[in-house]
Amino acid sequence: MAASMNSQITTESLIIRLHDVNVVKFGDFTLKSGIQSPIYFDLRVMISYPEIMVDVATLLWNKVKSSSFKTICGVPYTALPIATLMSTAHQIPMLIRRKEAKSYGTKKLIEGIYEDGDVCLVVEDVVSSGSSILETAQALQSSGIIVKEAVVLLNREQGGCEKLASEGIKLHSIFTMGDVLRVLREAGKMSPEMVERVSDYILKNTFQPNQLAPKPKVLGYRERAKLCSNPITQRLFEIMEKKRTNLALSADLTDSKQLLQLIDKTGPYICIVKTHIDILEDFSEDFIEKLSQLASKHEFLIFEDRKFADIGNTVVHQFSGGVYHISNWAHIINAHTVPGAGVIQGLKMVKTQNGCGCLLIAEMSSAGNLATGDYTQATVKMAEENKDFVIGFISVSNLSPDPELVHMTPGVQLECGRDDLGQQYLTPSEVITRRGSDVIIVGRGIYQAPDPAEAARQFQVAGYDAFVARLTEAVIS
């Protein structure tokens, strides 16, 4: 490793200082790709140590100063302040990539001044699979900016460099995982056993250039059922296995007689009936009794799509009381996380008839919805912290590798498209095979079809085939 231009900073001394301020952590960590790692570099800690930030920015700059670029762009968020330091110290204009395009105003993905064909250097803190650098590079490229090089503090040596090279991006790094292990071992800050454990992990967890990230193992429904501690998810996966279906019927009719007929006809093909009980014109206790009888007859769970979204105290009453007494009959409910964790605590307090699991609405299918980015991530965290009651997500993608958390996706039809009010449709194979969701939720695609039972059968086959394709792909890759 070379000493930097600033004679005070060597990469060795920087590694030791990063270790001493707790940037390097040992344990069991889940990386962005979903795989486990015994070592984690939390470089966000650096912002509390300005002198380290300046040294990192200096080292990065020295590494690339002979390259040719007109602007620099940090991968959000940790690399943003580092890129800012490089920009101000060397008077190189900076660009910022938005994680989501604004839905108002300029709707820009890239902030800052640039012209078509400008060359931009991407700055990042750590690279493992290379996917974060690639996301930023692709956003820049889609705005007409050329990305040929990226610079990173730590290359974890898990295939990111090769992946970026295969996409035409040359990666420069200050140090590698091998350097970290050597320096920390020589300084007596890492035991030989831990060095061996990490080296072994790196050897076994290298990303292939044609793979954005190693796919976590795809489990069958029977295996998932066995892994679930919550009786509702256990039961759901058992039904999915037995009936070979991942189809939830969104039973959005307003007449109870027609609704019961629809459910009876489609019952053999579904694992869940999703209701909006408050749209029924003629709700009665008798309807609930008949719905529960159909649930036993056809073996499906009842999901009331009430979307609780109030403070804990209020949702207690909404769930247990009022006209509908949802807690007496629903197996599954759902909640928005906008009120904070109190909504989960409130719902969890209610005594239920069937035991009840809650899905958190982490993403939505409708155009322009705000359940994205940090909101989605915070929702995933809430789910992981409340697994005694939260059984998964309403989402349009796979958000957690945890086999106990189930993903259910609305906005599904046999062809992609949209309705006039912002609903956006994906196909079963997009949702299940490519995006890794578990359950397709289908409403109008079934109940507005000329023959709803036949439509349900088609969705059952399409959804299940899509799952088998995901299993098969996982085995082959």
Ligand X SMILES: O=c1ccn([C@@H]2O[C@H](COP(=O)(O)O)[C@@H](O)[C@H]2O)c(=O)[nH]1
**Catalytic machinery residues:** 305, 307, 310
State yes or no: residue 394 binds ligand X (CB under 6 A). yes
User: Within 10 A of 392 (CB to CB), how many other CB atoms are there?
Assistant: 29
Yes or no: say if 357 and 405 are a contact pair by the CB < 8 Å rule. Answer: no
234 annotated as a binding-site residue? no
Residue closest to ligand X (Cβ): 443
Q: Which residues of 213-251 are buried (b: 16+ CB within 10 A; e: fewer)?
A: bbbbebeebeebbeebebebbbbbbbbbbebbbbbbbbb
Structure tokens at 448: 């507005």
Which of 111, 252, 299, 384 is close enough to bind ligand X by CB under 6 A? Answer: 252
Cβ proximity to ligand X, 244 vs 276, nearer residue: 276
User: Within 10 A of 117 (CB to CB), how many other CB atoms are there?
Assistant: 9
State yes or no: residue 445 binds ligand X (CB under 6 A). yes
Cβ proximity to ligand X, 30 vs 366, nearer residue: 366
CA distance 162 to 158: 9
Cα distance from N-terminal residue to C-terminal residue, the chain: 36
Cβ proximity to ligand X, 215 vs 444, nearer residue: 444
State yes or no: residue 372 binds ligand X (CB under 6 A). no
State yes or no: residue 443 binds ligand X (CB under 6 A). yes
Smallest distance, ligand X to C-beta of residue 364, A: 3
Q: Which residues contact 415 (CB under 8 A, 6 or more apart)?
A: 425, 427
State yes or no: residue 325 binds ligand X (CB under 6 A). no
- Give residues 136-195 in contact with ligand X (rule: CB under 6 A): none
Q: Which amino acid is at 252?
A: D
State yes or no: residue 364 binds ligand X (CB under 6 A). yes
Which of 79, 152, 302, 442 is close enough to bind ligand X by CB under 6 A? Answer: 442
User: Within 10 A of 372 (CB to CB), how many other CB atoms are there?
Assistant: 15
- Give residues 50-69 in contact with ligand X (rule: CB under 6 A): none
Cβ proximity to ligand X, 15 vs 441, nearer residue: 441
Smallest distance, ligand X to C-beta of residue 344, A: 18
Q: Specify the DSSP class assigned to residue 230.
A: S
State yes or no: residue 392 binds ligand X (CB under 6 A). no
User: Within 10 A of 293 (CB to CB), how many other CB atoms are there?
Assistant: 12
Cβ proximity to ligand X, 403 vs 411, nearer residue: 411
| Contact residues: ligand X, CB under 6 A | 250, 252, 276, 305, 364-366, 394, 410-411, 423, 441-445
Q: Binding site for substrate: which residues? A: 252, 274, 365, 423, 443-444
